[in-house]
Amino acid sequence: MKNIVEVKNLTKEYKNLKAIDNLSFEIRKGEILGLLGPNGSGKSTTINSILSLLKTSSGSIKIFGSEMTPSSYDIKKKIGVVFQEVAVFNELTVYENIDYFCGLYIEDKKLRSKYIDDAIALVGLENFKKFYPKQLSGGLLRRLNIACGIAHKPELIFLDEPTVAVDPQSRNNILEGIKKLRDNGATICYTTHYMEEVEILCDRVIILDKGKILASGTIDELKQLTNIEEKVTIEVDNLSDKIVSEIVEFKNVDTISYNGSALVITYKKGKNNLTEIVDYLNSKKVKYDKIFSERPTLNDVFLELTGKELRD
């Protein structure tokens, strides 16, 4: 598969801080690449460096096979960027905003009109063309922000947390729109803190922390990196400390947590863990409401690789 973006040995230093530390990866044609990491991991610095918005300390960046520089306007016109902060003009309507941003790339008015209509349809803003940004809900505003960034039909798109603080309906609309962009031939780099979105959208994932790649691969490949084989959740009230302490001693148990209403057990290995815990609870005459088992999620992998401590 052809590489649209090639990053090699990229480093960005701020005095005594390495925001990016010898980073190398590629974004392949026609894929959605998830770029994940906790706050301060280097995601935004990496994207800004790729876009040549930041001067890097060392390394190389190629896009569409050519070196990316601040003056690479022939490359930049093929790129769409949707940053986390909404950037539209409050004095322009929905249609006028999209027309303005699309007009930066597409001079032909007839072609631009078609592109604008396509972008409006993609994000579901057909009924809001004459609305001003202040009249839009948060979800509609996010959808307008996306339309402005992709109206010129870029081949490469960077989406930085496009679903922050939107309602479930708008989120679903945005995710479906991103899939359509990929299906229509776009290559996408996607950052988010919502792991379920990554599992839905991304063909590959890179997990960054402290400017370095901790892991990369498909969702299934990343899940194989975790030490957790199985997670069992039991809805149960008034579980005694003694029973919890006895479950901790089970052979394959890795971690256990109990918040007064749900017992969560993670197992390192084993095939009959669910049967074992059910038999034990029944022998102790413990009444429970629900019990279910699941494989490790991407969120489990992310926390295991990057740690569970809070980040600023």
Neighbours of 199 (CB within 10 A): 15
Judge whether 161 lies within some domain: yes
Amino acid 126: pLDDT: 97
Q: How confident is the model at residue 120 (pLDDT cuts 50, 70, 90)?
A: very high
- Condensed to tens digits (0 to 9), the pLDDT of residues 289-303 reads 999 998 888 998 898
Judge whether 29 lies within some domain: yes
80 and 36 co-located in one domain: yes
Q: Which of 276, 273, 292 is nearest to 284 (CA)?
A: 276
Amino acid 1: pLDDT: 58
Under 8 Å between Cβ of 215 and 305: yes
pLDDT at position 229 over 90: no
192 and 244 co-located in one domain: no
Given 180, 195, 223, the domain boundary residue is 223
141 and 273 co-located in one domain: no
Question: From the CA atom positions of the chain, what is the Rg in Å?
Answer: 23
Amino acid 209: pLDDT: 94
143 and 262 co-located in one domain: no
- Condensed to tens digits (0 to 9), the pLDDT of residues 153-199 reads 999 999 999 998 888 888 899 999 999 999 999 999 999 989 999 99
Residue 29 Rama label (left phi>0; alpha psi -120 to 50; beta): beta
Judge whether 51 lies within some domain: yes
pLDDT at position 270 over 80: no
219 and 250 co-located in one domain: no
118 and 248 co-located in one domain: no
Judge whether 206 lies within some domain: yes
Judge whether 308 lies within some domain: no
Find the CATH number of the domain harbouring 261. 3.30.70.100
Which range has the worst mean pLDDT, 80-84, 240-244, 257-261, 306-310? 306-310
Judge whether 311 lies within some domain: no
159 and 239 co-located in one domain: no
Amino acid 312: pLDDT: 62
The mean pLDDT value for 119-134 works out to 96
How much is the pTM?
0.88
Given 176, 193, 223, the domain boundary residue is 223
Under 8 Å between Cβ of 161 and 81: no
Strand order in the sheet with 262-267: 253-258, 262-267, 230-235, 290-294
178 and 271 co-located in one domain: no
- Condensed to tens digits (0 to 9), the pLDDT of residues 86-105 reads 999 999 999 999 999 999 99
Judge whether 310 lies within some domain: no
Select the more confidently predicted residue: 1 or 6. 6
Q: What is the tally of structural domains in the chain?
A: 2
133 and 89 co-located in one domain: yes
Average pLDDT, the chain: 93
Per the structure, the complete domain to which residue 245 belongs is given by 230-295
> Looking at the DSSP assignment, which residues form a beta bridge with residue 25?
7
241 and 130 co-located in one domain: no
Given 164, 195, 223, the domain boundary residue is 223
* pLDDT cut 70: percent of the chain above it: 98
Amino acid 228: pLDDT: 83
- Condensed to tens digits (0 to 9), the pLDDT of residues 128-165 reads 999 999 999 999 999 999 999 999 999 999 999 999 88
242 and 219 co-located in one domain: no
Judge whether 127 lies within some domain: yes
Find the CATH number of the domain harbouring 104. 3.40.50.300
- Condensed to tens digits (0 to 9), the pLDDT of residues 15-34 reads 888 999 999 999 999 999 99
The mean pLDDT value for 213-235 works out to 91
159 and 263 co-located in one domain: no
pLDDT at position 308 over 90: no
